[in-house]
Structure 1
């Protein structure tokens, strides 16, 4: 089994090579009627970032610290395939997955017709699939998996930033994302509070249930992505802030630590961006990052079947 070079955490593999960025469309309001986002007003004031009870300390989850947040608006869901399709049709934007000619697909999603694929060293469940893009998320012939109401995936940070600019918005900061996810509840672990999801009775979000990466019972109802507007929203009316797909933020991935191992990892992750929220592949035994304070760093040109984004606008 051939393997790609592993250069980041097991949550979201990153490309080892770099490609030139596609040009960003001019920022500005979307022509009326082009995209009808559901937008939520997020109050400003005293916010929190981090946690006093970090679970993965080397990721920089703690400490809990206050921060001042200005009011802003946020899409109630991650951007959907239908919304992203309008962006592509209007701008002709070429995603970085299309530019590279391939993207990462979770092994269970790879169609049999694809044949042999290469994996990421140490996390071989991530497969490099030629032709995997947002409109054919599992590779050529999988256009039927691009459901209009599901989160768009295979979008890099650069792609997400381009869409946000097109609608006159931007990607949220990590502090804004956490403030929105908390829904005014303070230092809670999840958007609904502190109750821990399990593999059977309590499934408030779309994560993995069972034995990762071999068998997913789909007790929450989904083997892969759920519709962007599913499960109960948090107190601010935001859907799927944890689980389903990772969400890009505007911020660089940094960790304050004196540990040599952490510093070495950060050196290899120069230029990486913070993602929040975890995905449908997260499980407490493997990737306990479906918590508000959890975070991951990924190269801005990377794309996978579990990476999406939402947009914010400053008031």
Structure 2
């Protein structure tokens, strides 16, 4: 883990072409904390599973009573043959498609889970040092408890990702590829069908494949999205700036006008699927919601730990 000193910083952005959920920029402050220098890997998650016998959400049969809470009232129950363990997998077509319909490249795959990220027939052999994916918020929480750590807040995550470079478009400055360098694992080409892999990777990369930021943190931008502990509220920054009503105890902590029935957690950092022509979320200010009870093949996590006061005379 690396020590993140904390302090004041500008969260979000006022850039005209940024997504509404990351506006406006607001000044916030975080206390110091420890953070994993890398995303949690397949090997680390496997050790957790081996020691605890934990079964991830994607390996369990979906619970209809829980699922329907995130669907419009009156949605009929699907046939039992559909309610089987699985997860969402990136499955791009070999030809150009409109980018306004995610069902054209995301598919529910029965049997997809952290050990079989693309479904039956896939595995993580030789990918022990890759970030674990197909993990839900519940799975990340369980791992964190076992590890004696916790998921970062959205404030902590963004402060750490900026690495002391405040108010810049990207984590390292205002250019995506300064001097032609690829500083993070993203998508080059035409999303979703044509990935040119100019950064050296066609999918996820082993953790630590790109240079760390000034705090010693690797892959805070790109590679895989990272879960945080916060509920997703599309108006969070507007509320902080006094431009939208504050949430009260009787309001749903999750607000996403594009998915009004969902219960989502904030994820940050973008992934290897973020491209210039679609989902330009490889920026510290970018933020999206992801369903708390499922995973995908491009979402992982890293953990933090609170500062431990030192006691004089103790070792």
The normalised TM-score by structure 2 is 0.78
Describe the shift of the 1:187–1:220 C-alpha distance in structure 2 as closer, same or farther (beyond 3 A): same
Tell me what 2:261 maps to.
Answer: 268
Q: Does 1:72 align with 2:42?
A: no
Q: Does 1:63 align with 2:47?
A: no
Tell me what 2:296 maps to.
Answer: 304
Separation of aligned partners in 2, 1:161 and 1:190: 29
Q: Does 1:170 align with 2:150?
A: yes
Tell me what 1:279 maps to.
Answer: 271
Separation of aligned partners in 1, 2:142 and 2:103: 30
Deviations along 1:280-306, one digit per CA (max 9) or x if unpaired, are 011021111111000100110121110
Q: 2:87 aligns with which of 99, 103, 124?
A: 103
Q: Does 1:292 align with 2:303?
A: no
Describe the shift of the 1:121–1:82 C-alpha distance in structure 2 as closer, same or farther (beyond 3 A): same
How far is the alpha carbon of 1:55 from its aligned partner?
3.2
Tell me what 2:15 maps to.
Answer: 53
How far is the alpha carbon of 1:57 from its aligned partner?
3.5
> 1:104-253 alignment to 2 at 5 Å?
104-108=88-92, 122-144=102-124, 147-197=127-177, 201-253=180-232
Separation of aligned partners in 2, 1:264 and 1:247: 22
Separation of aligned partners in 2, 1:140 and 1:95: 16
Describe the shift of the 1:263–1:247 C-alpha distance in structure 2 as closer, same or farther (beyond 3 A): closer
How far is the alpha carbon of 1:81 from its aligned partner?
0.3
CA RMSD of aligned residues (A): 2.3
1:242/1:290 contact within 8 Å kept: yes
Separation of aligned partners in 2, 1:144 and 1:159: 18
Separation of aligned partners in 1, 2:301 and 2:198: 25
Separation of aligned partners in 1, 2:256 and 2:232: 12
Tell me what 2:81 maps to.
Answer: none
Describe the shift of the 1:122–1:143 C-alpha distance in structure 2 as closer, same or farther (beyond 3 A): closer
Separation of aligned partners in 1, 2:295 and 2:279: 18
Secondary structure of 1:268's counterpart equals coil
Describe the shift of the 1:76–1:171 C-alpha distance in structure 2 as closer, same or farther (beyond 3 A): same
Equivalences, count: 262
Secondary structure of 2:108's counterpart equals strand
- Structure 1 unaligned spans of 5+: 1-38, 110-119
Deviations along 1:23-56, one digit per CA (max 9) or x if unpaired, are xxxxxxxxxxxxxxxx110002223311232533
2:19/2:286 contact within 8 Å kept: no
* Structure 1 stretches of at least 4 aligned residues deviating more than 3 Å after TM superposition: 54-57
Separation of aligned partners in 2, 1:67 and 1:144: 40
Tell me what 1:26 maps to.
Answer: none
